[in-house]
Chains A and B, each alone.
Chain A
Amino acid sequence: MNAITQKQTITFDDKVVRQFMWASILWGLVGMLVGVIIAAQLNYHELNLTSWLSFGRLRPLHTNAVIFAFVGNMMFAGIYYSTQRLCKARMASDLLSKIHFWGWQTIIVSAAVTLPLGFTRGQEYAELIWPINIAVALIWVVFAVNFFWTLAKRNEPSLYVALWFYIATIITVAMLYIVNHLSIPTSWTHSYTLFAGVQNALVQWWYGHNAVAFFLTTPILGIMYYFLPKAVDRPVYSYRLSIVHFWSLVFIYIWAGPHHLLNTSLPKWLQMLGMFFSLMLWAPSWGGMLNGLLTLRGAWDKLRTDPVVKFFIAAVTFYGMATFEGPLLSIRAVNALSHYSDWTIGHVHSGALGWNGLMAAGLFYWLTPRLYGTKLHSVPLANLHFWIALFGILLYVAAMWVSGIMQGLMLNSTNAAGTALTYPNFIETLTAIRPMMAFRIIGGSMYLIGMGLMLWNLWMTARSGKAVNETREVTLIDRGSVDTMGIKTTFLADPVTFFFGGLFLFMGWIFLPKGADITALICALIFGFLAVKKFAVAHSTWSNWYERLLENWLPFTLLTFIAVALGGLIQLVPTVMVNRAKNMEDRIQQVYTPLELTGRDLYVSEGCYNCHSQMIRTMLPDVLRYGDYSRLGESIYDHPFQWGSKRTGPDLARVGGKYPNSWHFNHMMDPRSTSVGSNMPSYPHLFTSKFDQKTLPKKIAAMVQLGVPYPIMTDVEIKENAIKQGIAIVENLKVDGLAASPDTQIVAIIAYLQKLGKYDTPEPNEALINRAAVPQLIPGPGNPDKQRPARPVQ
């Protein structure tokens, strides 16, 4: 291409790759060890040794360690190694690489300290407190600058598919992370999220689901696209498939978040979008699997001899399995059974252990000999790791399937006439799955042992060689030949125009009133047909445009950002922007008193939401077991929402007033005393620790700022109010012969638990009733959502 070919010898920064790799292995061991411990705690409650080693606090540590420390560091190792080679350039800035590495490890250490201490934001995978959030955002920006700067300095004109996935990862994670962590601090260790109730639920699962998509999937797919063809020495199966599955994956994934909220009080149109986009996501996900598996065509024999290939192929197979299971679990009817059960836990572990864990192992076995200029210490040991890990995962996942399906069936089972629950006692269903919990501990332990073997094997490999940084002669490219695409050529191209046109009509179909919507659908179908016809004629123009796009990193990044931002915008904006009244239905939550708010913060801090939901789904078994189904208005002041995602224990949405104070007192001291066979930890420290009165006025002030209608109170009044309510509870406990001090945490927790499910029925307001059910942008006249009744209380 270039008339003058200028050559330059460069040395890649492989040191940072080595650092990230060792960090990943070590944190992986820690994270999985914590996983085994909490799995054991579920079956042996005695293992909840102290407050900071209790399940509710360790579980977030486990998830955060595995996601952000193990997979995070692994992703960075893979990205730093492959990006330099795919760009034929050293990372743009060694300083930024160093800041990235050490900054990320500092974040992990601070997370490992704060989470067991009970400092948390109370949203899954978004638990870290706000100062750490800021650090994460800053380090991510450092990573992004370093990465894109390297792209800008590249000596390879065209961007390889691995880089597409890295680009999508970096921009999307930044977007998700920042929006979901917006909060108002009340102290250095505590903050309230900006969103409440349904808004919080939507934003959280938009984030949570896409953390899986863009932290655990896209970067690993990128790594697959680089390291798998390298390992098997075969061309990638299909470039065309890469294009189709990349763009469809990043565009569709974002829409699927609401499938975490199926059958809840989330407006039905969002549930429907979540379900059907999850179904439509199946094929794009399998596109990645196919491109991985079929790349091996003609080299299947390597599967027998090379442990790296074994790990990669098993990982890709697990990816295929998990991405088939995901859409299945997103079907509302299946979800009614699987949600809140161990099935979900099995699903995420086939992703985390199967896809991420085995990819990591394959990557590290491939990298270490090359990073240390030697051969792998022991191939048989790597094979042993493979088999022990594979067997461990299968045991784990199978146990969780059996457990989840069994408990789901038991909880939802009614007698033949449908008039009563078959298993009214929750503990009965817990006792039934106990053996499965034991198998999980064994499966998880086997996987952990495999990780230990890998550490030993790689350590010996490293010791037998010495750290090398690859040096290579590269041909410099003419800067004027790449990155020259303007806005016009980027956006005024047929593929982009057709996409936006189609999306616009599609939106018309979803949002316009009856009559207009079906017209929009017909137009969309005709438009789609036209697009296909156009493509048949002008495909070479389309593919030339795309090849040109690949030589322009900024336009490519812009288009990717638009693709990932759209789904979120369309789903979140209507619900987040409409005022509270419209998100309320016929009930409005009673504002928490200062003591109840304190109790709620303790509930969040102890991680109760890890095992208890506060959302009675619109399903008969839920209603029979826990009471009337939850309404949107009943969590309208909940910063953060506590709808939960797993019921290791029963739902608590309407537990307020169900039992006397003394019951809660005894239950928190020793759950077995009131619920025989319970696996809940005891909470003796709540009985001796005082709750924090000092920050209470600040917390109330933050709540007021967030729009919670508190009456005007001075700081003294707030504290007095709390103590007064505490005294009332203590007096009530005395009647049953129990003694507590009104300023202890247990009193605050009791106050909170007794408030759960308390609501007011707002004045019937004609204008409101006609418009309350769903955001106004959304429904057409025939929309069944509108029939959601604004019922009077009996």
Chain B
Amino acid sequence: MIHDFSVRSKPLAPTKPTFSMSKDNSTQGPILRPHEYDGIQEYDQKLPNWWLFSWYITMVIFVIAWVAYYQFGMGMADEKEIDTALAKIAEYQKKELELISDDKLWEMSLDPKITAAGAATFQTTCVACHASDLSAHIAGAKLPGLPLNDQEWKHGHAPTQILTIIRKGAPDLTKGMPPWEPQLGLQRVVEVTAFVLSKHQKGEPVTLSADSPLKAVK
């Protein structure tokens, strides 16, 4: 059986079109347009007011926001906002750093709470290069980092020197250690330093490695 789908079951009789903006047509019921397209008819209803007004509102928001930003200079440029935030962070760090000294870091390395926090950060961030036992070796294979559990140091053994390397990275970044302070924040970097120090003794004998940049200075 093949239907003739071109004819609708019962075409509705078209109502006379009265196109009006000002007058409300709702009392007369919806207008049915006279033309039929392959059996499809169309009402010609008024646009729903809530729809129309939400559209107008989005346009008004556009105009207001644009005028506020470009005409009256309200709101800050994104770059300025970032500069302000970064300056604030730098200031905070400066204050915090004034409180930190070699002795203070050694003291922290004895605080199990601080070293535990440092260990947690170390296990997620540093083990890829320094290994979880700080040996920079996994199953005999050398990892990219330097061992941190021996007494040989490349960038200095003093706690503040270690802190600086973790904060700012190695002097030559292409040779390894990236700066971690931006990503981790100062507090976590201090904790990691305390954790590394907890594997060492204050006053233990230390040596500078052969390729240390500090040697040349000496």
Contacts and interface: CB of A to CB of B under 8 A. Distances in A.
A424 B188 contact: yes
B184 to A, nearest CB: 5
A417 B174 CA distance: 32
Contacts of B20: 539
A524 B44 CA distance: 29
Interface stretch (A20-28, A49-57, A228-236): A228-236
A370 B175 CA distance: 71
A428 interface: yes
A282 B93 contact: no
Nearest to B61: A279
A398 B43 CA distance: 37
Contacts of B55: 280, 282-284
A283 B58 contact: yes
A714 to B, nearest CB: 29
B209 to A, nearest CB: 14
Given A629-B79, A660-B175, A424 B21 contact: no
Interface string B30-60: 0011010111111111111001101100110
A108 to B, nearest CB: 30
A244 B52 CA distance: 10
Contact of B58 (A282, A618, A676): A282
Interface stretch (B68-76, B106-114, B159-167): B68-76
Given A156-B37, A424-B125, A676-B124, A233 B85 contact: no
A463 interface: no
A263 interface: yes
Among B4, B21, B128, the one with the most A-chain Cβ atoms within 10 Å of its Cβ is B128
A417 B61 CA distance: 33
Interface in B53-98: 54-55, 58-59, 61-63, 65-67, 69-71, 73, 75-83, 85-86, 88-89, 92-93
Interface in B15-37: 19-22, 32-33, 35, 37
A370 B128 contact: no
A241 interface: yes
B185 A420 contact: yes
B2 interface: yes
B185 A427 contact: no
A276 interface: yes
B124 A427 contact: yes
B47 A418 contact: no
Contact of A280 (B12, B59, B73, B175): B59
B1 to A, nearest CB: 7
Contact of A419 (B35, B38, B42, B93): B93
Q: Interface size class for chain A?
A: 35 or more
Nearest to B89: A419
A160 interface: yes
Contacts of B93: 419
Nearest to A536: B21
B6 interface: yes
B216 interface: no
Contacts, number: 211
A736 interface: yes
Contacts of B19: 539-540, 543
Contact of B48 (A268, A290, A539, A662): A290
Nearest to A659: B178
A158 interface: yes
Interface stretch (A168-176, A560-568, A782-790): A782-790
A103 interface: no
Interface in A471-500: 472
Among B44, B79, B127, the one with the most A-chain Cβ atoms within 10 Å of its Cβ is B79
A231 B175 CA distance: 69
Contacts of A470: 2, 5
The prevalent SS among residues of A at the interface is: helix
A235 B36 CA distance: 9
B44 A420 contact: no
B40 A236 contact: yes
A242 B42 contact: yes
A503 to B, nearest CB: 14
A534 to B, nearest CB: 11
Interface in B175-208: 175-176, 178, 182-188
A657 B9 CA distance: 73
Interface string A644-676: 000000000000011110110010000001111
A754 interface: yes
Interface stretch (A208-216, A453-461, A575-583, A620-628): A620-628
A783 B85 CA distance: 22
A788 B79 contact: yes
Contacts of A428: 124
B66 A657 contact: no
A160 B3 contact: no
Contacts of A387: none
B173 interface: yes
B142 interface: yes
Interface string A220-246: 000000100110010111111110100
B73 A784 contact: yes
Contacts of B61: 276, 279
B79 A618 contact: yes
Given A290-B51, A417-B92, A235 B42 contact: yes
A427 to B, nearest CB: 7
A698 interface: no
B141 interface: yes
Contacts of B124: 425, 427-428, 676
Interface string A419-433: 111001101100000
B40 A736 contact: no
Contact of A737 (B37, B59, B141, B176): B141
Contact of A244 (B37, B47, B79, B141): B47
Nearest to B41: A235
A241 B76 CA distance: 40
B46 A240 contact: yes
Interface string B151-174: 000000000000000000000011
B134 interface: no
B129 interface: yes
A416 B124 CA distance: 23
B8 interface: yes
Interface string A47-91: 000000000000000000000000000000000001001101000
Given A263-B78, A618-B79, A676-B124, A240 B44 contact: yes
Nearest to B184: A424
B144 interface: yes
A447 B4 CA distance: 34
Nearest to A620: B85
Interface in A710-769: 736-737, 754
B42 A236 contact: yes
A452 interface: no
Contacts of A279: 58, 61-62
B21 A419 contact: no
B42 A736 contact: no
Given A160-B37, A427-B124, A737-B141, A415 B77 contact: no
Contact of B128 (A86, A624, A674): A674
Contacts of B173: 657-658
Contacts of A660: 144, 174-176
B185 A418 contact: no
Contacts of A161: 42
A787 B80 contact: yes
A240 B182 CA distance: 57
The 10 closest A-B pairs by CB, nearest first: A420-B185, A283-B55, A618-B78, A235-B41, A160-B37, A276-B62, A238-B45, A674-B128, A239-B42, A236-B42
Interface of A: 82, 85-86, 88, 156, 158, 160-161, 226, 229-230, 233, 235-242, 244, 263, 268-269, 272, 276-277, 279-280, 282-284, 286-287, 290, 327, 370, 373, 415, 417-421, 424-425, 427-428, 468, 470, 472, 509-510, 514, 517-518, 521, 535-536, 539-540, 543, 618-620, 623-625, 627, 629, 657-660, 662-663, 666, 673-676, 736-737, 754, 780, 782-785, 787-789
